[in-house]
Amino acid sequence: MEYRKLGNSELELSAITYGAFAIGGTMWGGTEKKDSIESVQASIDHGVTTIDTAPFYGFGLSEEMIGEAIKPYDRSKVQLLTKFGLVWDGSNNGKGDFFFDADDNGKQVPIYKYSSKENVIKEIEESLKRLKTDYIDLLQIHWPDSTTPISETMEAVETLIQQGKIKAFGVSNYNIEQIKEAQKTVQIASDQVAYSMLNRSIEKDLLPFTIAENIGIIAYSPMERGLLTGKYFTDSKLKENDHRNGYFGKFDLQKVKTLIEELSSLANDKHISIAQLVLRWTTLQKGIAIVLAGARNAEQAISNAKTMDFDLSASELTFINEAIAKID
């Protein structure tokens, strides 16, 4: 495994980071607790020391399982990344930006983006309890909230830093102007944004800015929620309440299939999976600090960790980039 300094912070994080959205179950067709905990532990056992989660993932379940999974390990050697700002329990009293209705076992739950100072403090205390820890390595705002001044949110963050409850702070889904505003109050270590072979929009403006400002990019959805594994084209049975039924529809699936078929020749030559090839390519892109990879069981977790066991040569990267260019 390779460990990288995150932007201007003192954090050293594993290049492949465990992404814990799917194990929460919400929007993913449910979850298996035993498999989920084993996937976290298998990741740590194979060098993935960094875990990224959020209260919204399973309405607290993801954080709870991570708290249970890391109990046997030295806390100082595991980096916990979590977030705040998505409210589902009605505690916002209708305040904030309505985001969407999430499916919770057939029940539609309204989700709000809400990051008032009071809510930030409340959410962090709840996360600390669920994660069974007294500090969070990297706290992140999950989505921008247009109803709360950024300065108010960042004042709450600064208080948490002073209290020692968080080591560093990052944003998520923030644009350049929002980062600039946040930086007036607190140091921004990272911006967690969507980035993949099929979605490279940040390369135009955001990435040059974050590189110049020494802000690390945390890439989420590098596999486009499993689409780039190729499994969807051989076993496309998704549960009815799996959000990917709609999510995959935004892509030209024939082009994606063609890309996967082309990359398969290189993956086969290197005796690796398409998923590992895609993840490794992502880790090698300029300005990308760490890459999130989800796993529903130990086998997937180990495969993700082994992504860093091989490298890609200049000619191999050229081959991959040319294949990607064909579908743009």
Cα–Cα nearest to 45, from 254, 306, 252, 246? 306
Q: Cα 219 to chain center, whole Å?
A: 7
pTM of the model: 0.92
Q: Is residue 302 part of a domain?
A: yes
Task: Evaluate if residue 28 carries a pLDDT over 60.
Answer: no
pLDDT band for 10, please (50, 70, 90 cuts): very high
Instruction: Give dist(CA 20, CA 37) in Å, integer.
Output: 11
Determine the pLDDT at residue 29: 56
Q: Give the CATH number, domain containing residue 104.
A: 3.20.20.100
Q: Is residue 317 part of a domain?
A: no
The mean per-residue pLDDT over the stretch 101-123 comes to 90
Q: Which tokens belong to 94?
A: 């209708």
The mean per-residue pLDDT over the stretch 279-294 comes to 96
Instruction: Look up the domain containing 107 and give its range.
Output: 3-250+271-311
Task: Evaluate if residue 27 carries a pLDDT over 60.
Answer: no
- What is the number of structural domains in the chain? 1
Identify the residue with better confidence: 295 or 115.
115
Active site residue 195: no
* Mean pLDDT, rounded, of the chain: 91
DSSP state of 60: T
The mean per-residue pLDDT over the stretch 151-170 comes to 97
Catalytic site residue from 18, 57, 112, 195: 57
Determine the pLDDT at residue 238: 63
For residue range 55-89, list pLDDT tens digits in order. 999 899 999 999 999 999 999 999 999 999 999 98
Q: Cα 237 to chain center, whole Å?
A: 24
Q: Is residue 257 part of a domain?
A: no
* Residue type present at position 278: V
Q: Is residue 316 part of a domain?
A: no
Q: Is residue 255 part of a domain?
A: no
Q: Is residue 322 part of a domain?
A: no
Q: Is residue 218 part of a domain?
A: yes
Q: Is residue 139 part of a domain?
A: yes
For residue range 238-278, list pLDDT tens digits in order. 666 666 656 666 777 788 888 999 999 999 999 999 999 99
Determine the pLDDT at residue 285: 97
Residue reference for tokens 């529903």: 296
The mean per-residue pLDDT over the stretch 122-146 comes to 97
Cα–Cα nearest to 234, from 226, 242, 224, 243? 226
Please answer whether residues 81 and 136 qualify as being in contact, where contact means their C-beta atoms are separated by less than 8 angstroms.
yes
